[in-house]
Amino acid sequence: MAQKVSRRDFFKVGGMAGVAASAVGLGIGSILGAPAEARAETITVTDFVYTCPLCGRQTTDYDALVKHFEEEHPEAAVPECATLAINGTEFKVQVEPHWTLRETLLKAVGLTGNAKEMCDRGGCGSCTVLIDGVPALSCTTLAVECQGKQIETSEGIAADERWRPLVEAYAKHDAAQCGYCTPGQFTVAKYIIEKYGQPTEEQIRAELSGNICRCGTYSRHVQAIQEAAAAIEGGN
Ligand code: FES
Ligand code: FES
């Protein structure tokens, strides 16, 4: 008789090392997920350990485990694994079919900027990421829908030297206060500069109209984005 194996049984993720941001990251960088210069050290997902639930064999290589499972336990079905391209890196992640992209970024990849929990129902915009260059709410997007697409988060944008003027302008103009809404606003800011080059106040306010800030930083985003746009020269 075929053995039934759940997805949870199949994967035992051994750990995600170094997910916590360092103490030096208490400025705009940490609000966006981690300081850009520390990003490579602090948000490195490592040491995955996959355990076969039927015989206990362990491997750090997903493909090797799938091969083992197919050869040694052909009677059991192999669960699926999603591959997501996040900030230019491909991540193989095990997700439940109902997991949103926000949950997946937080639980499976260890990102904390756009992925932290806010309204989680499409009302505030704080979870906004770019999917193939266009803003999308990660709390209302299924992770499995994102395979084959390019996902950008505030961490990836802040770590890109080309977008350093945007980070600096956000810090200079105090565009982040409590910081809850900031990763979503910041991600849309990149989209605005790429779309308009030198955006007007009206264009910025219209594009950011879905991003709610309870601290009332709205005017500061306009100042920061316009100043950064001039420095970035239209994102080109
Ligand atoms: S957390 Fe996604 S819109 Fe509020
Ligand atoms: S900075 Fe506090 S919610 Fe926007």
Distances (CA, A) of 48 to 26, 45, 78, 113, 154: 28, 8, 18, 22, 24
Give ligand 1 pocket residues (Cβ under 6 A): 118-120, 122-127, 137, 139
Q: Is residue 69 domain-shared with residue 169, that is, in the same domain?
A: no
Centroid of ligand 2 to alpha carbon of 149 (angstroms) = 29
The last residue of a domain, from among 156, 174, 206: 156
The whole domain housing 176 covers: 19-36+162-233
Q: Has residue 55 been placed in a domain?
A: yes
Contact 153, 86 (CB under 8 A): yes
Q: Is residue 139 domain-shared with residue 226, that is, in the same domain?
A: no
Q: Has residue 103 been placed in a domain?
A: yes
Q: Is residue 86 domain-shared with residue 136, that is, in the same domain?
A: yes
Q: Is residue 32 domain-shared with residue 65, that is, in the same domain?
A: no
Q: Please give the span between the terminal C-alpha atoms of the chain, in angstroms, as a whole number.
A: 60
Q: Which of 111, 119, 131, 142 to mutate to test the pocket of ligand 1 (most atoms within 8 A of CB)?
A: 119
Q: Is residue 196 domain-shared with residue 123, that is, in the same domain?
A: no
Rounded to an integer, what distance in angstroms lies between the CA atom of residue 233 and that of residue 236? 6
Beta strands in the chain (DSSP E): 50-51, 58-59, 82-86, 89-93, 128-131, 134-137, 150-152
Q: Is residue 150 domain-shared with residue 104, that is, in the same domain?
A: yes
Local structure of 75: helix, strand or coil: coil
Contact 216, 66 (CB under 8 A): no
Name which residue sits closest to atom 3 of ligand 1, judged by CA: 122
Rounded to an integer, what distance in angstroms lies between the CA atom of residue 69 and that of residue 183? 40
The last residue of a domain, from among 140, 156, 172: 156
Rounded to an integer, what distance in angstroms lies between the CA atom of residue 117 and that of residue 113? 10
Contact 137, 122 (CB under 8 A): yes
The last residue of a domain, from among 136, 156, 176: 156
Rounded to an integer, what distance in angstroms lies between the CA atom of residue 91 and that of residue 110? 11
Q: State the total domains in the chain.
A: 2
Largest CA distance in the chain: 67
Closest of 213, 128, 129 to residue 177, by C-alpha: 213
Which pLDDT tens digits describe the chain residue by residue (236 residues)? Answer: 444 444 444 443 333 322 333 323 336 666 777 544 444 444 444 456 677 767 878 887 778 877 887 788 777 655 567 899 999 999 988 887 888 999 999 988 999 999 999 999 999 999 999 999 999 999 999 998 999 999 999 999 999 999 999 999 999 999 999 999 999 999 999 999 999 999 999 999 999 999 999 999 999 999 999 999 999 975 55
Q: How is residue 140 written in tokens?
A: 């209302």
Q: Has residue 3 been placed in a domain?
A: no
Ligand lying nearest the CA atom of residue 180: 2
Contact 130, 85 (CB under 8 A): no
Q: What is the pTM of this model?
A: 0.72
Residue 139 alpha carbon, nearest atom of ligand 1: 2
Does the beta carbon of 217 sit less than 6 angstroms from any atom of ligand 2? Answer: yes
Q: Has residue 12 been placed in a domain?
A: no
Does the beta carbon of 213 sit less than 6 angstroms from any atom of ligand 2? Answer: yes
